[in-house]
Copies of this chain bind each other. A is one copy, B any other.
Amino acid sequence: MPTAVELTPTGRVILGMVAYGRQTGYEIKQFVDKTTRHFWAASYGQIYPELARLERQGLLRGRPDPAGGRQRTVYELTDAGLQALKGWLASDAELVFELRDEGMLKLFFSDMGSPEQRISNIRAMRERHERTLAQLCALEDTSAHMPDGPRLTLELGIGLHRGVIDWCEATERMLAQHADQQGNAG
């Protein structure tokens, strides 16, 4: 049994996307932006070099397939590529989980600002998550055509952002009330 192939972070999403039928770098990018972007993004600057590398590794096979006079390379998984994908899905290595939330950081340091600023920061966080939620909900309408995996991540994403929005609403109310009491007392 050969040593398991180590996939780079971007390699994982690309291999999966090819397995899900995306054939070109362009298609992969479109689909990533539509579906996984909220929890796993990828840019052209990563995708194209990584496609080439995965081909050199023997995990993908690329074939020129111009549409009209337009250059185009379609990719498919090799046997090794399918194995690598399944190996990653089956592995129990520690899962990457990284969150970087500037709204939370501002909230953390909000004691250095005014109470009004704290509230408006929470409002900005809420509006941000509301925009994301709207995008996810728009996607939900078409989720009947999606496989179970994508449907489940969409559900989880919606629940996640909804949870933050609820917390923001409740906290905005609480802080506003607190401010009222201060105001009335003074």
Q: What is A's interface to B at a CB cutoff of 8 Å?
A: 9, 12-13, 16, 19-20, 35-36, 38-41, 85-86, 88-90, 92, 94-113, 117-118, 121, 124-125, 128, 147-150, 152-153, 155-157, 159-160, 163-164, 167, 171
Contacts and interface: CB of A to CB of B under 8 A. Distances in A.
A105 B156 contact: no
Nearest to A127: B95
- 3 A-B pairs with least C-beta separation: A96-B102, A16-B109, A163-B163
Contact of A128 (B95, B106, B108, B156): B95
Given A40-B101, A104-B40, A148 B96 contact: no
B149 A99 contact: no
B101 A113 contact: no
Most buried by B among A99, A108, A111: A108
A89 B104 contact: no
Most buried by B among A106, A117, A118, A157: A106
Nearest to A101: B39
Most buried by B among A97, A128, A148, A150: A97
Contact of A97 (B16, B103, B112, B148): B103
B101 A89 contact: no
A117 B95 CA distance: 15
B111 A101 contact: no
Contacts of A157: 104
A105 B171 contact: no
A112 to B, nearest CB: 5
22 contacts: A36-B104, A36-B108, A39-B99, A40-B104, A40-B105, A40-B108, A89-B109, A97-B101, A97-B103, A97-B128, A98-B99, A98-B100, A107-B153, A108-B150, A108-B152, A109-B149, A118-B148, A118-B149, A156-B164, A156-B167, A160-B160, A163-B163
